[in-house]
Structure 1
Amino acid sequence: MSPTARDSRSADDGSAAGALERAAAILDAFDATHRELPLARLVERSGLPRSTVHRTAARMIELGWLDKPGDKYRIGTRLFELAGLVPVRHELREAVLPYLQDLYAAARTTVQLGVLDGVDVLVVEKITGHRPLPMLSLVGGLIPAHCSGLGRAILAWSDAATVDAVVAAGLTRRTPRTITNAEALARELATVHEQGWAYDREEGNAGISCVAAPIFDFTGNVTAALSVTGPSAAVLPDRIGPAVRMAAAAASRAYAARRWAVPRPAPELPSQ
Structure 2
Amino acid sequence: MSPTARDSRSDEDGSATGALERAAALLDAFDATHRELTLARLVERSGLPRSTVHRTAARMIELGWLDKPGEKYLIGNRLFKLSGLVPVRHELREAVLPYLQDLYAAARTTVQLGVLDGAQVLVVEKITGHRPMPMLSQVGGLIPAHCSGLGRAILAWSDEDTVEAVVAAGLTKRTPRTITNPEALRTELATVHERGWAYDHEEGNAGMSCVAAPIFDFTGNVTAALSVTGPSGAVVPDRIGPAVRMAAAAASRAYAARRWAVPRPQPGLPSQ
Q: TM-score, normalised by structure 1?
A: 0.91
Identity among equivalent positions (%) equals 91
| 2:81 matched residue in structure 1 | 81
Secondary structure of 2:112's counterpart equals: strand
In 1: Cα distance, 2:169 partner to 2:262 partner: 40
For 2:262 and 2:255, the matched residues in 1 are separated by 13
Instruction: Give secondary structure in 2 for the equivalent of 1:228.
Output: strand
Partner of 1:5: none
Partner of residue 48, structure 2:
48
State which drifts further: 26-35 or 212-221: 26-35
> How does 1:216-235 map onto structure 2 within 5 Å?
216-235=216-235
1:262, CA displacement in angstroms?
4.3
Paired amino acid for 2:32: A
Residue 45 (structure 1) shift: 1.1
Aligned amino acid, residue 244 of structure 2: V
Distance in 2 (alpha carbons) for counterparts of 1:202 and 1:30: 27
CA distance in 2, matches of 1:28, 1:98: 31
In the other structure, the counterpart of 1:179 is 179
Q: Quick one: distance in 2 between partners of 1:44 and 1:127? A: 33
**d(CA) in 1 for partners of 2:140, 2:263:** 30
> 1:270 is matched with which residue?
none
Distance 1:14 1:106 in 2: 54
For 1:73 and 1:145, the matched residues in 2 are separated by: 30
Whole-Å Cα distance in 2 between the matches of residues 122 and 150 of structure 1?
A: 10
User: Residue deviations 1:233-266, cap 9 Å, x none?
Assistant: 000000000000000000000000011114499x
Aligned position for 2:65: 65
Cα-to-partner distance string for 1:26-82 (whole Å, 9 max, x where unaligned): 111111111111111111111111111111101111111101111111111111111
The residue aligned with 1:247 is: 247
Number of residue equivalences: 253
Aligned AA for 2:214? P
Offset from partner CA, 1:152-194 (integer Å, 9 cap, x none): 0000000000001111111000000000001110110011000
1:203-225 superposed Cα distances (whole Å, 9 cap, x missing partner): 00000000000000001000000
Q: Which amino acid in the other structure matches residue 138 of structure 1?
A: Q
The equivalent residue for 1:128 is: 128
Q: Which runs of 5+ in 1 are unaligned?
A: 1-12, 266-272
3-state SS of paired residue (1:125): strand
Cα deviation, residue 97, structure 1: 0.3
- 1:101-116, aligned counterparts within 5 Å? 101-116=101-116
In structure 2, the partner of 1:4 is: none
Letter of the 1:237 counterpart: P
Q: 1:230 to 1:73 in 2, by over 3 A?
A: same
Write the distance in 2 (CA, Å) between the matches of 1:14 and 1:162. Answer: 32
SS in 2 for 1:218: coil
TM-score normalized by structure 2?
A: 0.91
- Cα distance in 1 for partners of 2:118, 2:213 equals 19
Equivalence map 1:27-46=2 (5 Å)? 27-46=27-46
Match of 1:170 in 2: 170
Counterpart amino acid of residue 128 in structure 2 = T
Moved over 4 A (4+): none
Give the AA of the match of 1:195: R
1:269 corresponding residue in structure 2? none
Distance 1:182 1:14, change over 3 A: closer
Q: Distance in 2 between matches of 1:134 and 1:43?
A: 27
Which residue identity lines up with residue 197 of structure 2 in the other structure? W
**Structure 2 unmatched ranges of 5 or more:** 1-12, 266-272
How far off is 1:18 after superposition?
A: 1.1
1:234 maps to a residue whose letter is A
Tell me the residue number matched to 2:18.
18
CA distance in 2, matches of 1:21, 1:252: 36
The answer to whether the aligner puts 1:117 opposite 2:117 as a matched pair is: yes
